[in-house]
Chain A
Amino acid sequence: QSVLTQPPSASGTPGQRVTISCSGSSSNIGSNYVYWYHQLPGTAPKLLIYRNNQRPSGVPDRFSGSKSGTSASLAISGLRSEDEADYYCAAWDDSLSGPVFGGGTKLTVL
């Protein structure tokens, strides 16, 4: 059971906007930044969003992040087939003194 809660799956058609939620607590999301990673099958996770809503260079502005209280969300607009992947949220947890991750959301582009 992961510390952060994500829906196991999400889907959308090309061009649509999809959001993925991530719920935590006061010891993690409530008091620290949220990060998002995406993972293609058989590959390592790749940083997608840092510090709640910042994109590393090379990440398209179709990807955006937000945070409110103890929850966060990732939005993907203009959905494309290559966006099909697993998405994970993460945050530092003050109680555990380490990183915590969500259970992952498998995004399917229909």
Chain B
Amino acid sequence: QITLKESGPTLVKPTQTLTLTCTFSGFSLSTSGVGVVWIRQPPGKALEWLALIYWDDDKRYSPSLKSRLTITKDTSKNQVVLTMTNLDPVDTATYYCAHLTTGATWIDYWGQGTLVTVSS
């Protein structure tokens, strides 16, 4: 059974750096074809892809946020970490991590999400 859970601060001040951790079980990030993706959703708005990382350490970033994002994995701990710099109130959103596969079902299992509020 695949599960993912996001953790990190719920409140961040403008200009600060946000670090979110996705801890997962039920799969390994050393398995060919597997990845983890970060997606966010501002309150009442649509989903927005942020970054993804594959089993082979291939990393992709949303072009609009690339300069502010870093994604890394720790295969031994079953964790993926997303770092976002220079936070702004418009970054207030629920942040989700999800299991991604190059197989049929693609982005198929999602974490419960964590709400991050950017405010002074």
Contacts and interface: CB of A to CB of B under 8 A. Distances in A.
Nearest to B47: A101
B105 A103 contact: no
A50 B105 contact: yes
Interface residues of A, number: 25
A103 B47 CA distance: 7
B46 A102 contact: yes
Contacts of B52: 98-99
Would you call the interface of chain B mostly helix, strand, loop, or mixed? strand
A104 B48 CA distance: 11
A2 interface: yes
Contacts of A51: 104
A88 B46 contact: yes
A7 interface: no
Interface of A is mostly: strand
B62 A98 contact: yes
B106 A35 contact: yes
A97 interface: yes
Contact of A90 (B61, B107, B111, B112): B107
Interface of B: 37, 39, 46-49, 52, 60-63, 96, 104-113
9 contacts: A35-B107, A37-B47, A44-B96, A45-B47, A47-B108, A54-B104, A56-B108, A99-B52, A101-B39
Given A50-B105, A98-B60, 6 more contacts: A35-B107, A50-B106, A96-B63, A98-B52, A99-B49, A104-B47
Top 9 closest pairs, chain A to chain B, by CB: A44-B110, A101-B47, A99-B49, A103-B46, A50-B105, A104-B46, A47-B108, A98-B60, A98-B49
